[in-house]
Amino acid sequence: MLMVRCAAKVNLCLDILGRRSDGYHDLRSLMVAVSAWDELHIVLSDRFGLEDEAGQPLPQSNTVWRAAHLLAQEVGIPPNFTVRLIKRIPSEAGLGGGSSDAAGMLKALQKLWRLRWSWRRLVPLAARIGADVPFFLVPTGAAIAEGIGERLTPLRLPTLWMVLVMPEATMPTKDAFDLWDAHPTQVDADPMALAEALFRGDWTQVRRHTQNAFEPLIATRIPSVTDLKARLMAAGAMAAVMSGSGTSVVGLFTDAMAARRALKMVRPFAAWGTVARSVRRSIVLRWGRKG
């Protein structure tokens, strides 16, 4: 059995530059992979099957199903595997769980089929599944993302400790972009300046650039986003921002102990929460025993 761990991501800053003629949006973001994980368990089979942790079949619209069949079409090999998807990353949270799962499937098949492709060769295929999928192929675990997310500049950042919390309410990505289209909002989010500030430990500049163009719009609809952000700051976060299209909020801390203390303070007010650190491998593959 091939076991695949698929990391979550956070957007430490996110600016939307405008809507394109094809309906997509140009954006600019600093994205970081973090230690909250989904898993794929993959075994040989006579046909492709995708199921949840309880063994129930998942639909063809699932990103894992789409990733497997897109790569199979590309290389002309049938994806004869059964895949069990174990979800731990909450959905509609701005943490990229579905995108990470798709990237995990691509990387798994690349290994199983011994495809000597660079990560950049997989990017166009990944972008057909979703705008965040290419990020999870980056070998450094952090990148500046531009275009619709397919133009990636890999970065190496220092280890970052953070608290991720999420309110009960969620926000589908399409609804978030519809909100932005109705009320276009831009922010002072410079991904490279933010990355440099993180290296220097310049928290004043980090706070300046940890901005998300979706946040003021979504917080108007879901005030608990603002509440959780304020609670993280009161608990000692050096900076806090909503991730992606929401509704999770990430707080940055100086070390693991400070993050754990803060989670204890904020967790009673959140529907979900965890301490996480940045990781340099978004997708981790290892062999294990079936069952």
Q: Is residue 285 part of a domain?
A: no
Q: Is residue 130 part of a domain?
A: yes
Residues 247 and 222 in one domain: yes
Residues 134 and 272 in one domain: no
Output the pLDDT for position 290: 62
Q: Is residue 254 part of a domain?
A: yes
Residues 148 and 166 in one domain: no
Active site residues: 9, 132
Residues 271 and 205 in one domain: yes
Output the pLDDT for position 246: 83
Query: In 5-96, where does DSSP find H-type helix?
Result: 63-75
Residues 181 and 138 in one domain: no
What is the domain-level CATH number for residue 245? Answer: 3.30.70.890
Residues 232 and 255 in one domain: yes
Task: Tell me the chain's radius of gyration from C-alpha atoms.
Answer: 19
Q: Are 2 and 285 a contacting pair, CB within 8 Å?
A: yes
Output the pLDDT for position 73: 97
- Of 123, 156, 189, at which residue does a domain stop? 156
- Of 99, 134, 156, at which residue does a domain stop? 156
> What number of CA atoms fall less than 13 Å from residue 224's CA on the CB side?
17
Output the pLDDT for position 3: 98
Residues 13 and 135 in one domain: yes
SS3 of residue 81 by DSSP: strand
User: Which residues form the domain of 39?
Assistant: 2-156
Residues 271 and 227 in one domain: yes
Q: Is residue 284 part of a domain?
A: no
Strand order in 249-253's β-sheet?
A: 239-242, 249-253, 161-166, 272-277
What is the domain-level CATH number for residue 148? Answer: 3.30.230.10
Q: Is residue 290 part of a domain?
A: no
H-run or E-run covering 197 = helix 191-200
pLDDT per residue, tens digit, the chain (291 aa), is: 999 999 999 999 999 999 998 888 999 999 999 999 999 999 999 999 999 999 999 999 999 999 999 999 999 999 999 999 999 999 999 999 999 999 999 999 999 999 999 999 999 999 999 999 999 999 999 999 999 999 999 999 999 999 999 999 999 999 999 999 999 988 988 999 999 999 999 999 999 999 999 999 999 999 999 999 999 999 999 999 999 998 999 999 999 999 999 999 999 999 999 999 999 999 999 998 765
CA 254 – CA 237 distance, rounded (Å): 8
Residues 28 and 69 in one domain: yes
The CA-based dihedral angle spanning residues 151, 157, 160, 166, taken in that order and rounded to the nearest 10 degrees: 0
> pTM to 2 decimals?
0.96
Output the pLDDT for position 291: 53
Residues 179 and 46 in one domain: no
Q: Which residues contact 277 (CB under 8 A, 6 or more apart)?
A: 34, 35, 159, 160, 161, 162, 256
SS3 of residue 83 by DSSP: strand
**Number of domains the chain is built from:** 2
- Tell how far CA 175 is from the center of its chain: 18
- Of 156, 182, 209, at which residue does a domain stop? 156
Residues 14 and 146 in one domain: yes
Q: Tell me the one-letter amino acid at 251.
A: G
